[in-house]
Amino acid sequence: MIRYALSCAEGHRFESWFQSADAFDSLQAAGMVTCAVCGGTQVEKSLMAPRIGGDAAPAEDRPDRPLSKPATPAEQAMAELKRKIEAESDYVGLRFAQEAREMHAGLAPRRAIHGEAKLDEAKKLIEEGVPIAPLPFTPGRKTN
Protein backbone atom coordinates (compact mmCIF):
# COMPACT_ATOMS: atom_id res chain seq x y z
CA MET A 1 0.00 0.00 0.00
CA ILE A 2 1.13 3.53 -0.74
CA ARG A 3 -0.31 6.82 0.45
CA TYR A 4 -0.22 9.86 -1.80
CA ALA A 5 -0.85 13.51 -1.08
CA LEU A 6 -3.08 14.63 -3.94
CA SER A 7 -4.46 17.90 -5.28
CA CYS A 8 -7.10 18.71 -7.86
CA ALA A 9 -7.34 21.43 -10.49
CA GLU A 10 -9.43 23.51 -8.03
CA GLY A 11 -6.58 23.46 -5.49
CA HIS A 12 -8.16 21.07 -2.98
CA ARG A 13 -5.61 18.95 -1.14
CA PHE A 14 -6.31 15.46 0.24
CA GLU A 15 -4.66 12.08 0.76
CA SER A 16 -5.56 8.61 -0.46
CA TRP A 17 -4.18 5.08 -0.30
CA PHE A 18 -3.45 2.92 -3.35
CA GLN A 19 -2.39 -0.69 -3.75
CA SER A 20 0.74 0.41 -5.62
CA ALA A 21 2.19 3.25 -7.70
CA ASP A 22 1.08 1.36 -10.83
CA ALA A 23 -2.44 1.06 -9.41
CA PHE A 24 -2.58 4.83 -8.92
CA ASP A 25 -1.37 5.43 -12.49
CA SER A 26 -3.95 2.99 -13.93
CA LEU A 27 -6.82 4.46 -11.92
CA GLN A 28 -5.80 8.02 -12.77
CA ALA A 29 -5.58 7.20 -16.49
CA ALA A 30 -9.10 5.71 -16.32
CA GLY A 31 -10.44 8.89 -14.65
CA MET A 32 -11.26 6.98 -11.47
CA VAL A 33 -9.20 9.09 -9.08
CA THR A 34 -11.43 11.95 -7.97
CA CYS A 35 -11.10 14.88 -5.61
CA ALA A 36 -12.42 14.09 -2.14
CA VAL A 37 -13.86 17.61 -1.89
CA CYS A 38 -15.32 18.54 -5.31
CA GLY A 39 -15.28 15.25 -7.23
CA GLY A 40 -13.05 16.63 -9.99
CA THR A 41 -11.07 14.09 -12.01
CA GLN A 42 -8.06 16.30 -12.74
CA VAL A 43 -6.05 14.98 -9.80
CA GLU A 44 -2.27 14.97 -9.47
CA LYS A 45 0.20 13.75 -6.89
CA SER A 46 1.56 16.53 -4.70
CA LEU A 47 5.02 16.78 -3.23
CA MET A 48 5.08 14.59 -0.15
CA ALA A 49 7.77 13.88 2.41
CA PRO A 50 8.35 10.20 3.11
CA ARG A 51 7.74 8.85 6.60
CA ILE A 52 11.12 8.25 8.19
CA GLY A 53 11.66 6.42 11.46
CA GLY A 54 9.22 6.38 14.32
CA ASP A 55 6.05 4.37 14.39
CA ALA A 56 4.95 3.59 10.83
CA ALA A 57 1.33 2.98 11.79
CA PRO A 58 -1.00 5.87 10.93
CA ALA A 59 -2.45 7.78 13.90
CA GLU A 60 -5.93 6.39 13.22
CA ASP A 61 -4.57 2.87 13.83
CA ARG A 62 -2.96 3.78 17.15
CA PRO A 63 -5.24 4.48 20.11
CA ASP A 64 -2.34 6.06 22.05
CA ARG A 65 -2.06 8.99 19.63
CA PRO A 66 -5.04 11.31 19.05
CA LEU A 67 -6.07 12.09 15.50
CA SER A 68 -5.15 15.53 14.23
CA LYS A 69 -7.98 17.92 13.46
CA PRO A 70 -8.98 18.28 9.82
CA ALA A 71 -7.00 21.06 8.16
CA THR A 72 -9.47 22.59 5.72
CA PRO A 73 -13.06 23.77 6.18
CA ALA A 74 -14.19 21.01 3.80
CA GLU A 75 -12.40 18.37 5.88
CA GLN A 76 -13.89 19.84 9.06
CA ALA A 77 -17.40 19.75 7.54
CA MET A 78 -16.87 16.15 6.39
CA ALA A 79 -15.65 15.10 9.85
CA GLU A 80 -18.67 16.76 11.48
CA LEU A 81 -21.06 15.11 9.00
CA LYS A 82 -19.53 11.70 9.71
CA ARG A 83 -19.70 12.27 13.48
CA LYS A 84 -23.36 13.33 13.26
CA ILE A 85 -24.44 10.43 11.02
CA GLU A 86 -22.66 7.86 13.18
CA ALA A 87 -24.13 9.36 16.39
CA GLU A 88 -27.70 9.74 15.12
CA SER A 89 -28.21 6.54 13.10
CA ASP A 90 -27.80 2.80 13.52
CA TYR A 91 -24.97 1.04 11.70
CA VAL A 92 -26.48 -2.05 10.01
CA GLY A 93 -23.39 -3.10 8.08
CA LEU A 94 -23.93 -5.35 5.10
CA ARG A 95 -27.63 -5.67 5.96
CA PHE A 96 -28.21 -2.10 4.72
CA ALA A 97 -30.12 -3.02 1.54
CA GLN A 98 -32.36 -5.50 3.35
CA GLU A 99 -33.04 -3.09 6.25
CA ALA A 100 -33.79 -0.15 3.92
CA ARG A 101 -36.10 -2.28 1.77
CA GLU A 102 -38.00 -3.60 4.83
CA MET A 103 -38.48 -0.08 6.23
CA HIS A 104 -39.65 1.20 2.84
CA ALA A 105 -42.19 -1.64 2.60
CA GLY A 106 -43.47 -0.96 6.13
CA LEU A 107 -42.23 -4.32 7.42
CA ALA A 108 -39.83 -2.72 9.90
CA PRO A 109 -40.09 0.47 11.94
CA ARG A 110 -38.55 3.52 10.28
CA ARG A 111 -35.30 4.73 11.76
CA ALA A 112 -32.12 6.38 10.57
CA ILE A 113 -29.61 3.77 9.40
CA HIS A 114 -26.26 3.68 7.64
CA GLY A 115 -24.26 0.75 6.37
CA GLU A 116 -22.76 -0.80 3.30
CA ALA A 117 -24.23 -2.01 0.03
CA LYS A 118 -22.76 -3.25 -3.20
CA LEU A 119 -23.27 -1.00 -6.22
CA ASP A 120 -25.85 -3.31 -7.80
CA GLU A 121 -27.80 -3.49 -4.51
CA ALA A 122 -27.83 0.31 -4.24
CA LYS A 123 -29.04 0.65 -7.84
CA LYS A 124 -31.87 -1.80 -7.17
CA LEU A 125 -32.95 0.18 -4.09
CA ILE A 126 -33.05 3.38 -6.14
CA GLU A 127 -35.03 1.65 -8.93
CA GLU A 128 -37.51 0.44 -6.29
CA GLY A 129 -37.96 4.00 -5.02
CA VAL A 130 -36.23 3.43 -1.69
CA PRO A 131 -34.80 6.79 -0.59
CA ILE A 132 -31.07 6.28 -0.07
CA ALA A 133 -27.97 8.40 -0.55
CA PRO A 134 -24.30 7.46 -0.72
CA LEU A 135 -22.10 8.67 2.09
CA PRO A 136 -19.01 10.67 1.14
CA PHE A 137 -16.93 8.60 3.55
CA THR A 138 -16.50 5.00 4.63
CA PRO A 139 -18.57 4.29 7.72
CA GLY A 140 -16.72 3.21 10.83
CA ARG A 141 -17.37 -0.47 11.38
CA LYS A 142 -18.58 -1.43 14.82
CA THR A 143 -16.89 -4.36 16.46
CA ASN A 144 -17.56 -6.38 19.62
Q: Is residue 41 part of a domain?
A: yes
Whole-angstrom Cα distance, residue 108 to residue 143?
24
User: Number of folded domains in the chain?
Assistant: 2
Q: Is residue 34 part of a domain?
A: yes
How is residue 132 annotated by DSSP? -
Q: Is residue 11 part of a domain?
A: yes
Structural domain harbouring 120: 89-127
What whole-number percentage of the chain has pLDDT above 90? 31
The answer to whether residues 46 and 12 touch, using CB atoms and an 8 Å cutoff, is no
Whole-angstrom Cα distance, residue 35 to residue 42?
8
Side-chain-side CA neighbours of 142 within 13 Å: the count stands at 11
**0.85 exceeded by pTM:** no
Residue ranges of the chain with per-residue pLDDT less than 70: 47-71, 140-144
